[in-house]
Structure 1
């Protein structure tokens, strides 16, 4: 039997979507084609649909936009081109299913093009009309987090339609943690880290070695125990070596921290639909992280570090599935096989 491919749409805001797609594609027993912006030769490269201003939070400001859509700006050549390219690929490749990670518009396009969709449902309050319609139109929902991190307000029908698949992360390096090594992780989806504030934190803990990966603002007086590494090729290696992680509550970082089972001091950032707040509150409720509203003052750091290191490792470990990538791959391959059998029995 010739496999009709699985399409995997990768959103371009933040790094977690692509990391998840690449991890699954590397192990799945089914051909996978990635679709997204900035893929180059790694898949179907789509035109950028972001505003010329460069500011993008997933929602446009068009007054007449239908409630079932988040982002549908008028007369945008990038949007027009990517819709045409996705539709052409669907018509030519006849995919068994399309995983949408994430975009209610691409989910709607796939459904209109008669494709079985699996919608990646991130955490947060997604009770708006557009998300609910995307959830209804999908055959199933992939929730890349443990079910115990679910928001209590999530309706039962959405929970029942969700397959909870924590642990969709690259293989965790086998490193012993260096107890006095603190790693600050700044992701791609938000603003750069506050260099002077991080320098103050390092000065307040002179016996700790601080290392920052990701962008930070300039600091004129960097202490000797602070290393600003910038972007790194393999953040999982950095996380595995650290004795404590400080960062936001994006699903990519949270998954990596849980996979490495490292103490976590979590400072969620403002995101649409309260995605990071929902995850952070869940981690705090389950004693898997110390959660803060804002960056602490220098005098607070020693106590907060001790508090984070005292949290039981088992509280983090149980929220991670070390076979999460393989589990997700088997499930998606099974969904693709079922879709092909139902829609094209002679394939």
Structure 2
């Protein structure tokens, strides 16, 4: 079995957790998942879980902290280092205690500059996950430099043109690591438009969705994820909220509409579905850069922000004219297994 691997999981959205669980389940050695899991059901985790104290700043301004984490006195190699935050002290102490007790062979960091550099201070080799977007700022560069290897959870064809050569050379392109069926349409579509809102975003607006559905009344609209606001719901608009069978809805879609998050893009590619990508604001233009790369490949139609109702008929027509094999070609059903094997190989070499 060998010495264990630690896998740090970021708390933003749910995609990091799903990716970590899929990879850990496919590995040949023990893998401990480490992160803040207050909003995650960890019952089905494929191995040990360490739930860290939260490091986010509280909403209560009377907190005893020194305010927001500004740049005035923060070291240039860090993104986030608020002073007098007991949660940060406790989480770093917990990571250090686990490392001293478990003697891990390496740490996968998905994602945190601070955890990556802290692992290096603990004398742990790291594999740092490199997300999409322009990450050439000093903290990212230092985290990338400190890593034994970088791991990109997307195909090399989607990498940005502003990535330094030395970062590319250090990167293993794992491909999409979301869970889904084998590449290609899973069933015949029934003409529906499926709109997906994930956990990491603001969700949908009922008035905006209703206006879009009225603008394209000949097609049923099915919405997955949170929706807020009030108003009349047209008969062709169906609100499902959170669902466990996302794949079933995607499999029946003629057109998928949603953001540029890793999980949704991976699922759309796995199903080879025509895609209207509405990238959401993210740090370092992560979703925007990925969406524009998809568009350059003919794999998606991109519109920044939720479109006005008058634009939807043309967006739907243009989206339905896409060749679904373009996005389907980006999916590799063996990506998770190959990624797990790479981590196992790196770990074996370190031992």
- Alpha-carbon separation, structure 1, partners of 2:88 and 2:250: 37
1:46 match = 52
CA deviation map 1:232-280 (0-9, x unaligned): 2242332222221111111111111111111100111111111011101
1:225 match = 236
* Structure 2 residue 306 is the aligned partner of structure 1 residue 295: yes
* Structure 2 residue 148 is the aligned partner of structure 1 residue 142: no
- Alpha-carbon separation, structure 1, partners of 2:216 and 2:312: 7
Q: Which runs of 5+ in 2 are unaligned?
A: 62-67
Q: Which runs of 5+ in 1 are unaligned?
A: 341-347
- Of 72, 77, 99 in structure 2, the residue corresponding to residue 68 of structure 1 is 77
TM-score (norm 1): 0.93
Q: CA deviation at 1:110?
A: 0.5
Counterpart mapping for 1:14-163 below 5 A: 14-38=13-37, 42=45, 43-53=49-59, 60-61=69-70, 63-163=72-172
CA contact (8 A) 1:19 1:169 kept: yes
- Alpha-carbon separation, structure 1, partners of 2:312 and 2:122: 53
2:177 match = 168
CA contact (8 A) 2:192 2:254 kept: yes
Q: CA deviation at 1:34?
A: 0.2
Deviates further, 298-307 or 323-332: 298-307
TM-score (norm 2): 0.92
- Alpha-carbon separation, structure 1, partners of 2:157 and 2:203: 31
Q: SS at 2:228's partner residue?
A: coil
CA contact (8 A) 1:167 1:323 kept: no
Q: 1:337 to 1:45 in 2, by over 3 A?
A: same
Q: CA deviation at 1:192?
A: 2.1
CA contact (8 A) 1:243 1:263 kept: yes
- Alpha-carbon separation, structure 2, partners of 1:14 and 1:61: 24
- Of 210, 225, 237 in structure 2, the residue corresponding to residue 214 of structure 1 is 225
2:291 match = 280
Q: CA deviation at 1:54?
A: 8.8
CA contact (8 A) 2:189 2:253 kept: yes
Q: 1:78 to 1:177 in 2, by over 3 A?
A: farther
Q: SS at 1:26's partner residue?
A: helix
- Alpha-carbon separation, structure 2, partners of 1:20 and 1:284: 24
CA contact (8 A) 2:176 2:262 kept: no
CA contact (8 A) 1:102 1:120 kept: yes
Q: 1:197 to 1:46 in 2, by over 3 A?
A: same
- Alpha-carbon separation, structure 1, partners of 2:325 and 2:249: 21
CA contact (8 A) 2:259 2:279 kept: yes
